[in-house]
Structure 1
Amino acid sequence: MPQISDFLDAARTIRPLLPTLVDTETAQQIDQQLSSTLNQSTTDDRTTAKAIRNILQSYPPTQAWLTEFLKTEPTQRSFQSLLGGLDPKSATKYICPSGNDYTWYREANEEIPLCPYHLVRLVPAPL
């Protein structure tokens, strides 16, 4: 059974993938909805998770992506596996230190990127 944190991670992880899943206009719309939802400080995590689920289930491609994301063990999630490419591999989770809205998974020795929204270096997520 998915946990609240799984939906929060899904929203943070899908944002950079949206242009590969839906058209540009829809990707921008979904991205804005997710960002707004993730950054609402007055909302508890359970309410935020429900809102994320509703947003992602509103579009068949993001609904299918969410279903696959939730089937994958958190320690096995990776960028490639979430795109339907390679088999899941162990990946290190990184987050944006400036916002609550972006997650990236590092495989092997990839260079750690900047958050595309806040332009700061990502940091390892707390265990």
Structure 2
Amino acid sequence: MHKPPLKDSRPSAPVMLSLLWASLMSLYIYNDYFSMYLPGTVESMAAGRIGPLGEATDLVLICVALILAIPALMIFLSSLLPPVISRWSNVAFGLAYTLIEIMTFIGARPFYQMVVAFEIVVTLTIIWTALRWPRADVSE
């Protein structure tokens, strides 16, 4: 007996963008988690230092929190915002995070670079998906 072909059920642009931001957040979390296994990392954290940023002052921690909060919020905002605002927010933040990832790639350990390379692919896919947002059918 022949089964019918599988139905193509691709998610809408907002759902796809939300999924991409969720993937990016997962990559961030795991890369930071695995970085804690590097010798001296936990001791440095306990001493109040935050990687190449130096002392973990309130201002540094606020900036880091904002950098991490935006992708987390984009998971929700990509589906909530009106299409035009969502589209351009995804393009702008996708570009910004691609640049941030490029900066963290340089000089990093190989395992970290591998995950950052995936992150760059995800942010470029966010930009590409947002720019290719389908237009409404305005048939008369």
TM-score when scaled to structure 2?
0.29
Choose between structure 1 and 2: higher helix proportion: 2
TM-score w.r.t. length of structure 1? 0.32
Find the structure with the greater CA-based Rg: 2
Q: Which has the higher contact order (CA 8 A, sep 6+)?
A: 2
